[in-house]
Chain A
Amino acid sequence: MRKKSSAVDPKLHAILQELSDEHRTKSEADAITETDAERLSRHLPRYTVAEPTLQESRALVERIRPLLRENRLSPASDEEAAAYAAPESNSSDEPAFPVRSIVRFSVEPAAPARNAHSFDENAVSEPFAHADASSSPMRTKLESELCFTSASESKDEAQARFSDRLREAAGARHSAFGTIIRYAAVHAKSFPWMFWGLSAFAVFLGVLASPVATSGVLGGEELHTNVLIVLVPLLAGLSVSYSFRSFGTPMFELELSFPMTPMQWLLGRLTVIVFYQAGLALAASFVLNREWLNESLPAFVISWLVPLGLYCAGTLALTLRFGTWYGTLIMAALWIGQIPLQQHVGPLYFISDSNHPHWAASKIIALLLTLLLAADVIRQFRKQRAGQTALLRGTER
């Protein structure tokens, strides 16, 4: 192993460099080849173990502290002594062990405690209460030790431990809005570029088509809608179908095994979809409002926002009841069917613009339906949480 490959773990590379003498003495068959090194680099780092938290370290200190405070010491057994392998010390010259010794010697000033915030001052400073003011250099130095852990060995050690950061993050309190944003931020990472890119592209095409197709005519009847009003809810619904496609599969069961409740999972994904689609549509509305809208901007926003909510809730409710494919197909059919049937459905023409005679009624009905469907979704999820329905399709008894 003389040449470093990019696929070789730097730590392993360093070890193999140290062993270069061994490498030279080995035959071709016994030598570690570059393939071996890459293979080891792939596997070895995966053997991780959980590290203790700072609270556990503090607990350990508290368990050992009495040993230090006891002034009566039992000599170590011969076996232990062999294990220690310690050199002879000048213990005979040392004074008897003081329980609360005050250390006085000069040391260089300690470095500023960069990571002091990661420590609970009260938890670590108690022993320093035994030292008087004259021991401050030592105190400062040991305090800095406790904040830095080991400056001499590893700078990484000076960082707060991952296990502690995890615990702090889990225990941190956030507002309701902050909590939802946190869930959404986690889920946003799981959405592929296709979701972001295609949605934006579709809305862009919708904006381009709007001036041409606005208030179009179908079979001699005016449609009273806009490309954007038709498109945005459809995109949101399809996004819901896409993001909840794991429902009813082993993947869904696994997702629910993560430390996130089904409701948090649902809320996180819906937030991403609704906020993103609504953001895109809002931007498009501002663009259209410059010249091509024949209604007021707030009315236009309501025209697509209410159906967006309805379509999201509807798709989700149907998905939970009938599975992803049936849910999507039923919702898509209901949606597409509205355009040719708009003269017959009256206030159930949810994708109307504000020029439609039943516009206000249709939005109120859509809003009520959205609330009903949302309630049904919550009920479905609660039932699943209580174990009353099977998580996996095909496992029902």
Chain B
Amino acid sequence: MTDEELIQQLKQGNEAALEALVFRYHAPIRSYIARLVRNPAHADELTQECFERVCRAALNGRLPDRVRPWMYRIATNLCRDLWKKSSYRGELLAEQHKMISYPDRDTVTSILERQWEREEIIRALESLPEDHRKIVILRYYHDLKLEEIAEIMEMPLNTLKSKLYKSLKSLAAVFAGKEERTVAEKK
């Protein structure tokens, strides 16, 4: 059964369709939001809000042509709303400070190193403009098609491709700089 058929069922109030939709999309949508907002509590709240909006829209008869990009767009908009809140910006700054203040010593296992590398990637992604970051996350981590991302981001496909290419190049440059610094420190 396709997502679109499920939404049709949801529109008619079929609870099984709601379950199917949640079981199908809870993990990807929550992961997407978590990558954007980097706060598990916010991610859970926004994920629930996203599904509630989907439900309301379906019950109101607002059925999309394609469900997946539509759901991701709702999630994206919810994140954007959160970013606009001043309280969230304060939390984000505190979080960034916490990451930066991580001690660079006591690296006793690869586990810790991996954790730090993960934070490096987060920082590298943070260095990208907002829409570039979303494009990379949607394409690389969530395997969305370029056409779907173009629909979510409301931009022409060629522009999207260009932005994705630039983002990947920028990320590679950031990682290269990091690797060079690590080599220099070891010397």
Q: Point out residues on A near B: beta carbons under 8 Å.
A: 11-12, 15-16, 18-19, 21-23, 26, 30-32, 35-37, 39-40, 42-44, 46-52, 54, 56-57, 60-61, 63-65, 67-69, 73-76, 80-81, 83-87, 89-91, 94, 97-101, 103, 107, 124, 127-128, 130-131, 138-139, 141-143, 145-146, 149-150, 152-154, 157, 161, 250-251, 253-254
Q: Is the CB of B13 within 8 A of A65?
A: no
Whether the pair A47, B15 counts as a contact (CB closer than 8 A) is no
Which listed residue, A12, A60, A86, touches B64 by the CB 8 Å rule? A86
Q: Is the CB of B9 within 8 A of A103?
A: yes
Q: Which of A43, A61, A76, A138 contacts B121 (CB 8 A)?
A: A43
CA distance A295 to B12 in the complex (A): 85
Smallest CB-CB separation from B30: which chain A residue?
A52
| A76 & B117 in contact (Cβ 8 Å cutoff) | no
> Interface on chain A toward B: helix, strand, loop, or mixed SS?
helix
Min distance, Cβ A79 to any Cβ of chain B, angstroms: 9
Q: How far is the CA of A47 from the CA of B122 in the complex (A)?
A: 7
**23 A-B residue contacts at CB 8 Å?**
A16-B168, A19-B165, A23-B165, A39-B172, A39-B176, A40-B175, A43-B175, A47-B35, A47-B118, A47-B121, A52-B26, A57-B22, A63-B48, A64-B22, A76-B53, A84-B64, A84-B73, A99-B13, A127-B18, A146-B16, A146-B20, A157-B27, A254-B108
The answer for the CA separation of A97 and B57 in the assembled complex, in Å, is 13
Per-residue interface assignment for chain B, residues 155 to 187, with 1 indicating a CB less than 8 Å from any chain A CB and 0 otherwise:
000000110110011011101100100000000
A149 and B62 in contact, given A40-B168, A49-B35, A83-B74 (Cβ under 8 angstroms):
no
Partner of A61, one of B22, B34, B61, B168: B22
Sort chain B's interface into a size bin. Answer: 35 or more
CB B69 to nearest CB in A, in angstroms, measures: 9
In angstroms, Cα B98 to Cα A9, docked, is 31
Docked CA distance A254–B112 (Å): 10
Instruction: Please determine whether B53 and A142 come into contact, CB atoms closer than 8 angstroms.
Output: no
Q: A36-B168, A68-B18 are in contact. List 4 more A-B contacts (CB 8 A).
A: A69-B15, A73-B56, A146-B16, A254-B112
A67-B56 contact, Cβ under 8 Å, with A26-B165, A32-B169 = yes
Interface residues of B in 1-39 (CB under 8 A from A): 1-3, 6, 9-20, 22-24, 26-27, 30-31, 34-35
How far in angstroms is the closest Cβ of chain B from A150? 5
Contacts of B2 in A (CB 8 A): 152
Residues of chain B at the chain A interface (Cβ within 8 Å): 1-3, 6, 9-20, 22-24, 26-27, 30-31, 34-35, 40, 47-48, 51-53, 55-57, 59-65, 68, 70, 73-74, 77, 106, 108-109, 111-112, 114, 117-118, 120-122, 124-125, 139-141, 143, 146, 161-162, 164-165, 168-169, 171-173, 175-176, 179
Q: Is the CB of B60 within 8 A of A142?
A: no
B31 and chain A: residue at smallest CB distance? A49
CB distance from A119 to the nearest CB of B (A): 9
List chain B residues, Cβ under 8 A from A251. Answer: 108-109
Q: Which residue of chain A has the shortest Cβ distance to B32 in the bound complex?
A: A49
By secondary structure, the B interface counts as helix
The residues of B that contact A19 with a CB separation of less than 8 Å are 161, 164-165, 168
Q: Collect the chain A residues with CB atoms within 8 Å of residue B31's CB.
A: 49, 51
Contact B164 A15 (CB under 8 A): yes
B121 to chain A minimum Cβ distance, whole angstroms, is 4
* Chain B residue, CB-CB nearest to A125: B16
Contacts of A150 in B (CB 8 A): 24
| Residue from B52, B64, B106, B168 in contact with A64 in the complex, judged by beta carbons closer than 8 Å | B52
Kindly provide the distance from the CB of A104 to the nearest chain B CB, expressed in whole angstroms.
11
Bound CA–CA A75/B26 (angstroms): 24
- Do B161 and A22 touch across chains, with their CB atoms under 8 A apart? yes
B80 to chain A: closest CB distance in Å?
A: 9
How many angstroms from the CA of A254 to the CA of B113 in the assembled complex?
13
Q: Which has the most chain B C-beta neighbours within 10 Å: A31, A37, A39, A94?
A: A39
**Is A94 a contact of B1 with CB atoms below 8 Å?**
no
B51 is contacted by which of A11, A60, A73, A149 (Cβ under 8 Å)?
A60
Q: Pick the contact of B11: A12, A76, A94 (CB < 8 A).
A: A94
Q: Are B121 and A87 in contact (CB under 8 A)?
A: no
Q: How far is the CB of A58 from chain B (nearest CB, A)?
A: 8
Q: How far is the CA of A266 from the CA of B16 in the complex (A)?
A: 49
The answer on a CB contact under 8 Å between A22 and B140 is no
Measured in the bound complex, the distance between the Cα atoms of B14 and A11 in whole Å is 36
Distance between Cα atoms of A57 and B121 in the complex (Å)? 28
Which residues from A are CB-within-8-Å of B52? 64, 67
A65 touches B15 (CB 8 A): yes
Determine if B15 and A130 form an interchain contact, defined as CB atoms under 8 angstroms apart.
Answer: yes
Shortest B180–chain A CB gap in Å is 11
Q: Report the bound CA distance from A75 to B15 in whole Å.
A: 20
The interface residues of chain A lying within 8 Å CB-to-CB of B109 are 251, 254
CB neighbours of B108 from chain A (8 A): 250-251, 253-254
Knowing A43-B121, A47-B125, A161-B27 are in contact, say whether A73-B53 is a contact too (CB < 8 A): no
B37 to chain A, nearest CB (A): 11
Q: Which 5 pairs between the two chains have the least Cβ-Cβ distance?
A: A91-B61, A36-B172, A127-B15, A86-B62, A22-B165
A101, B34: Cβ atoms under 8 Å? no
